[in-house]
Structure 1
Amino acid sequence: MPPNSLQSILDHSKLELTTAPILYRCEPIWSWKVESLSDHAILLILDGRGKLTVDDQQIDLRQGLCFFLKPGSKIEAQQNPSYPLFLFLAQFQNLDTSQEDAERVGQNFESLFIRNVRNLEPLAELVASRQPHDTLFEDAIKMLVRIIVSEATHHSGNFDSRTYEALYAIENDLARKWTVADLASEAEMTAGSFARSFKRMMNEPPIHYVIRRRMEEAKRQIQQSSLPIEEIAINLGYDDLTFFRELFTSRLGQSPESLRLGRTL
């Protein structure tokens, strides 16, 4: 869905935070209920699962989903305790907005799926660290909204809840030797239908995604841990260290060893 309301905010409005933004790993009993939302809100799901009800319309909460909620909406949200939510929530007013824009912005809530939601986490952390009247807040929140709009325009996927089950399975077992048939089974789809749906959602074939995520995780562990590179490779499903090293180098442009030597300690 085109983010018309968010784009309108960027073009015509000044944002004023009304409560402290939240970056929150939810407790098992977490829930959120508002009879009438007093301000605009952005709800970004960074991880986990749950349910969101907006004016009697129920939506599944999944990693990568972002919601722009309008004032006056009745909101109820719960998480699945087995998959705790990690979310970002910011509530704000729009200032310097014409009546026409205000009416258009407030018509409906918007939702979109962002493939690379991990890229937004550092900026969400920055926004959440600002105080309500901090002069840096407006720049930070506006930058976050701008990136969400950009992601929605250029990098958003066609969310499919069945395909997401396979995506979630990958993220929770990167080392498994996944096949398209295995992933299609997780999604309860035929292999052909699943492969097409996954590519529409993630803009790459499923096995390409598995390899890319393994390399990203390998890079993270090499930079942030002291685990031997061979152990990192084995933990990510690569028993052949030579093959792992060649794949890593071809994907990231440097060997695992050179990355480790060059990291900031």
Structure 2
Amino acid sequence: MTQLRFNSSPTYWRCEPGWFWHSRPLGDHLLWCVLDGVGELTLEGQTEPLGPGSCAVFRPGDAPMARHDPHRRLLVFGMHFDIDAPDEAPHRGLVQVQDRTLLGALARRCDRSFRRGGPLGARHSLLCLEQLLCLLGEEATYDALGPVDAELDRITEAMRQDPSRRWTVTELARQAALSRAQFTRRFIAYTGLTPARYLINVRLVRAHELLTQTNMTVTQIAAALGYIDVAYFSRQYKRHTGRSPSVAR
């Protein structure tokens, strides 16, 4: 398992109006997360804009430069750290984190836990650092979701959370601001399944959980998940899992 070590305390910097940064070559890793303000960052001759959600991991030897708009001063969260597995070093350079709520929450928890101290506080703050690095790695690796895919992501999450609800294509298409035909095409492209097949799958996953983790009867589970016909539910479950509900129990 990769080991991380703080070389400085997690901290916030609200950069002064006349601030600018021209770093000496760094001796360790530096996490830099912009939470507010506007500016620009230059690394190896390449200049990029900075704004809320702009994050970077600088590596040993990097000599970044930055400046900001004194009327929209940068608020930066970060810390110096070491990593004991160079081949697992985090993504280098600037990335844009889309989920700024999560970014801010992880920063606050990392700072608070570190300052609380003790073994639990130290462990929690290191876990927050690791999660921040994973968040930056994901943003650098995967393309940001477009508006429609972001809405489909929200819709499929809601279906997984509440599979017993009577979801209809008409309702879901309205939520995505698409026609029924457009919604079905985009849904299949996003999930690989039709909306009806996706709903069946999430219902049967939930059915398996209820069968194996509760004392509810097969009839009660079928009714809870919106099945009027218990025999039909049992056939679908067996087709999906290869076992009847009674055998699964």
TM-score, length basis structure 1:
0.48
Q: Distance in 1 between matches of 2:174 and 2:181?
A: 11
Q: Deviations over 1:19-41 (max 9, x none)?
A: 9xxxxxxxxxxxxx9558x9559
Look up the match of 1:210.
199
Look up the match of 1:107.
94
SS at match of 1:108: strand
Matches within 5 A, 1:1-265: 15-16=3-4, 18=6, 35=13, 40=31, 70-71=56-57, 93-95=82-84, 97=86, 105-109=92-96, 158=145, 160-260=149-249
Q: Distance in 2 between matches of 1:193 and 1:34?
A: 46
Look up the match of 2:70.
none
Percent pairwise identity: 19
Q: Distance in 2 between matches of 1:207 and 1:235?
A: 18
Report the CA distance between 1:107 and its aligned residue.
2.7
Contiguous gaps of at least 5 residues in structure 1 = 1-9, 20-32, 42-51, 60-67, 77-90, 113-129, 261-265
Q: Larger relative CO (CA 8 A, sep 6+): 1 or 2?
A: 1
Q: Deviations over 1:56-77 (max 9, x none)?
A: 7568xxxxxxxx953489579x
- Is the Cα–Cα contact under 8 Å of residues 36 and 76 in structure 2 kept in the other structure? yes
- Is the Cα–Cα contact under 8 Å of residues 187 and 194 in structure 1 kept in the other structure? yes
- Is the Cα–Cα contact under 8 Å of residues 55 and 94 in structure 2 kept in the other structure? no
Which moved further from structure 2: 233-242 or 177-186?
Answer: 177-186
SS at match of 1:107: strand
Runs of 4+ aligned residues of structure 1 deviating over 3 Å after TM superposition are 33-36, 38-41, 52-59, 68-76, 91-98, 109-112, 130-134, 156-159
The code of the aligned residue for 2:221 comes to I
**Residue 162 and residue 219 in structure 1: after superposition, are their counterparts in 2 closer, same or farther (change >3 A)?**
same
- Is the Cα–Cα contact under 8 Å of residues 17 and 132 in structure 1 kept in the other structure? no
- Is the Cα–Cα contact under 8 Å of residues 57 and 92 in structure 2 kept in the other structure? no
- Matched pairs, number: 171
Report the CA distance between 1:217 and its aligned residue.
0.5
Report the CA distance between 1:179 and its aligned residue.
2.7
The code of the aligned residue for 2:92 comes to V
**Residue 202 and residue 169 in structure 1: after superposition, are their counterparts in 2 closer, same or farther (change >3 A)?**
same
Determine which structure has more spread, i.e. the larger CA radius of gyration.
Answer: 2
**Residue 55 and residue 224 in structure 1: after superposition, are their counterparts in 2 closer, same or farther (change >3 A)?**
farther
Report the CA distance between 1:232 and its aligned residue.
0.9
Contiguous gaps of at least 5 residues in structure 2 = 15-28, 39-50, 59-73, 100-118
Report the CA distance between 1:258 and its aligned residue.
0.6
Q: Distance in 1 between matches of 2:212 and 2:235?
A: 18
